[in-house]
Chain A
Amino acid sequence: MSRVTKFAARDPGPAARVAGFIAHLRQNGLRLGVAEAELAMAALVEVDASRPEDCRRALQAVCTGCKEEAERFGDLFNSYWMDMGRVRQKVIPALSQKSNEDVHSTRDAKGQDLGTAGRATAPDDKGDEAESEGTGRLIATKQRNFKRRDLRDLVRPEEIAEAQEIARRLGAALRDRRSRRRVAAQRGDRLHFRKIIRQSLSTGGEPLRLFRKRRPDRPRKIAALCDVSGSMTVYSKVFLAFLAGLMRADTAADAYLFHTRLVRITEALRDKDAMRAIGRMSLMADGFGGGSKIGPSLQRFANTYAKRFVDGRSVVLILSDGYDTEAAEVLSDALAKIRKRGCKIIWLNPLKGWTDYAPVAAGMAMALPYLDLFKAANTLGDLATLEQEFAAL
């Protein structure tokens, strides 16, 4: 119990501390309201408050809503309630700079080690590495870039707005696939005669209930994977703005970053505040501008997320220059695997815009047979012109 946070003597009581904790979670991007604070209090009454683990479990059940949040919760809990024992945990820092009046802690609830490579970024044992997949807790590799880049310096809000418009148009070009066939639907535009007659048998030949049919929408889901390795630094600005725009324009889209590892950034990019979304993303993208392992990253994608999110109605959008430090076979295997799920694969390569470009990089050459569309893109303008091509897919 030596690690428990010591609150100031004029602290108004447990209720305020819990409210402070909820504010702390909210600052770290969990979407919680007053109702959750109330529920959290009610939950704490039910458990033995002298046992921190029980409290953590109770608060976790109340305050988290998805796997990513559940995995981060332990660190956030410790940093607020347990920071007297110098437990140096990394938490995603609060993005607003003003001090929070609700937090009556003797130490800054944000933690103190934001600029250094903390526990979460240190080379770790194998087991932990597997566990932390996709949560933004990235593990060092030999090409790791120690400098932390703030992506907010790269992307401006106006660009996001512009990219959002382009992404919306591209998304619409990809998405609007209407079927010719009609299927039964509650609010269809035509009567479904066959079904009406068939069902009328059970009501003595009287067509008591009218069934309808319509042409169904067959929406396409977009999964975008963006390369943020060193060789892509120049183009990242455009692509990140595009990703941010895409996520805001299309609620079903999915976004990932990769360099030497793959991170899912969908949750972070859904943040209401566009710049805060980019900020959260930059914290997840530790190692930004380092080496690139396209093959293993895509392999990782094919084996994990693709199983859940990619199907025959998906479009996988890869934004990368194709310079891979791993064997080219890994990349082509990964693409073959993704391809087998029945999706379309589009590769946008910024280098393709150069006059004498030929896909000679081994990885790129091996990847070509699996691509439905291979195009140049290095400015937002280029992306906008792709609308026609996408529609033709």
Chain B
Amino acid sequence: MTWTSLKSRLAGAGYVASDDLAVALQLALTLGRPLLLEGAAGVGKTEIARTLSMIEDTRLIRLQCYEGLDASQAIYEWNYQRQLLSIRAAAESGETGKAVEDRIFSRSFLLERPLLAAITQAKAPVLLIDEIDRADEEFEAFLLEILSDFQVSIPELGTISAVTRPIVILTSNGTRDLSDALRRRCLYTYVEYPDRTTELAILKARCPEVEARLANQIVGFVQKLREEELEKTPGVAEMLDFAAALMGLGIADLTDDPAVLHSTLTTLLKTRTDQAQITREVASRLAGKAA
């Protein structure tokens, strides 16, 4: 499979990828390396993993990172409640200590968390490690171990090696610089906001019912809006929401009614200062330029 065919398969599932991204993804698949995606919020980093799992027809296992994420949340944890109940039941039936111990530290008492689940699937899943920059550096360190060896050691059970190698995709919003060690193990792509033609293609793929002229206006408007100095630049998801809002209100032309246009801007502008900055006049001026 070449990268162009991968790109068209992604497009078939509704994801329009840039050439850089398609090549990187293709390499990640063939070389079995994790792929690190960086970029602003709302450019479609998480979506690519979802689409990939769809076209590969496999499970998507997602690990959302946050500050303070630790091994028991990410890899595995013993099911303490079940173990305790089991001990009590054993005490009543008069089972010996050794047998109980063997039983309560077996696989059925193990709660699989995303990372362990990802390496024990029969068919290689897509493992999405979302917003890795939010996790602590400590977590990054043991993620490295799993990404290089694809095995997990559990003191009571021994080492569990990967049945299949998951397709690993990491995303980062760049709130913190990642360690060089992690970057070295991954292929890297910076995902930009899409250009006009790409974004138009995305809109066509996701909302085919929008007619061509309005689609042009929507994309042009959002592209112009991104050039304004905003606190939170609208991403692709917001653009799709905006399109859906316009469709729902039955608007055929952006320049028709400034009041309605301004009220639909709630889908694009997410802070108070941004809303104050894009007044009705500014919005209709941008719409005029975009047309």
Q: Footprint of B on A, CB under 8 Å?
A: 31, 33, 35-36, 39, 42-43, 46-48, 53-54, 57-58, 60-62, 64-67, 70, 186, 202-204, 206, 208-209, 266, 303, 307-308
Complex A-B, nearest 9 residue pairs according to Cβ-Cβ distance, in ascending order: A65-B183, A61-B24, A57-B23, A61-B187, A70-B190, A67-B190, A46-B30, A203-B84, A43-B27
Which listed residue, B20, B26, B38, B188, touches A46 by the CB 8 Å rule?
A: B26
Residues of B near A64 (CB, < 8 A) are: 188
22 A-B pairs within 8 Å (CB atoms) are namely A31-B180, A39-B31, A42-B31, A47-B3, A47-B23, A48-B2, A53-B19, A54-B3, A57-B20, A57-B23, A57-B24, A58-B27, A60-B24, A61-B27, A64-B188, A65-B180, A66-B183, A67-B38, A206-B84, A209-B80, A266-B177, A308-B174
Residues of B close to A58: CB separation below 8 A: 23, 27
B contact residues vs A (CB 8 Å cutoff): 2-3, 19-20, 23-24, 26-28, 30-31, 33, 35-36, 38, 70, 80-81, 84, 88, 174-175, 177, 180, 183-184, 186-190, 229, 231
Best-surrounded residue of A54, A57, A58, A206 (most CB of chain B within 10 A): A57
CB pair B188 A203 closer than 8 Å: no
- Name the prevailing secondary structure of the A interface residues: helix
Asked whether, in the complex, the Cβ of A61 is within 8 Å of the Cβ of B188, the reply is yes
Closest Cβ of chain B: how far from A209's Cβ, in Å? 7
A31 to B181, CA, bound (A): 11
Which residue of B19, B28, B175, B188 contacts A70 across the interface (Cβ within 8 Å)? B188
Contact A66 B33 (CB under 8 A): no
Minimum C-beta distance from B81 to chain A (A): 6
CB distance from B215 to the nearest CB of A (A): 23
Known: A60-B20, A61-B27, A204-B84. 4 other contacts (CB 8 A): A54-B23, A61-B187, A62-B187, A66-B177
Q: Which residues of B lie under 8 Å from residue A47 when comparing CB positions?
A: 2-3, 23, 27
| Given contact pairs A47-B3, A70-B188, A62 touches B27 in the complex (Cβ within 8 A) | yes
Pair A202/B81 contact, Cβ less than 8 Å = yes
Chain B hits for A203, CB < 8 A: 80-81, 84
Q: Which residues of A contact B3 (CB under 8 A)?
A: 47, 54
Closest residue of B by beta carbon distance from A204:
B84
A43: contacting residue among B31, B36, B190, CB under 8 A: B31
- Min C-beta distance of B178 to chain A, whole Å: 8
CB nearest neighbor in B for A65: B183
Assess the B80–A202 pair: CB atoms within 8 A. yes
Q: In whole angstroms, how far apart are the Cα atoms of A54 and B27 in the complex?
A: 11
B162 vs chain A, min Cβ distance (A): 20
B19 touches A57 (CB 8 A): yes
Q: Which residues of B contact A48 (CB under 8 A)?
A: 2
| Complexed CA–CA distance, A54 and B4 (Å) | 10
Give which listed residue, A39, A53, A208, A266, contacts B33 with CB less than 8 A. A39
- Which residues of chain A come closer than 8 Å to B27, judged between CB atoms? 43, 46-47, 58, 61-62
CB distance from B10 to the nearest CB of A (A): 15
B80–A36 CB distance below 8 A? no
Q: Smallest Cβ distance from A110 to chain B, in angstroms? A: 25
A61 closest partner in B (C-beta): B24
Q: Closest chain B residue to A307 by CB distance?
A: B231
Give A229 Cβ to nearest chain B Cβ, in Å.
Answer: 24
Residues in B with CB closer than 8 Å to A303 are 229
Contact B23–A61 (Cβ < 8 Å): yes
**Min CB–CB distance B289 → chain A (angstroms):** 15
In the complex, how many angstroms separate the beta carbon of B65 from the nearest chain A beta carbon?
17
* Nearest CB of chain A from residue B156's CB, rounded to whole Å: 15
A208 CA / B77 CA spacing, docked (Å): 14
Across-interface contacts of B26 in A (CB, < 8 A): 46
Most buried by B among A48, A61, A66, A208: A61
Q: Please, which residues of chain A bring their CB within 8 A of the CB of B33?
A: 39
User: Chain A residues with Cβ under 8 A from B30's Cβ?
Assistant: 46
> Please, how many angstroms separate the alpha-carbon atoms of A367 and B215 in the complex?
46
The reply to whether A35 and B23 contact each other, CB–CB distance below 8 Å, is no
In the bound assembly, the distance between CA atoms of A204 and B36 in angstroms comes to: 44
Task: Output the least CB separation between B245 and chain A (Å).
Answer: 26
Report the separation of the CA atoms of residues A42 and B33 in the bound assembly, to the nearest whole angstrom: 11
Closest to B180 in A: A31
Q: Are B70 and A186 in contact (CB under 8 A)?
A: yes
CA of A266 to CA of B180, assembled, Å: 14
Contact, CB under 8 Å: A35 / B80: no
Give the residue of B174, B189, B231 whose beta carbon is less than 8 angstroms from that of A61. Answer: B189
Task: Give complex CA distance A65, B187 in Å.
Answer: 8
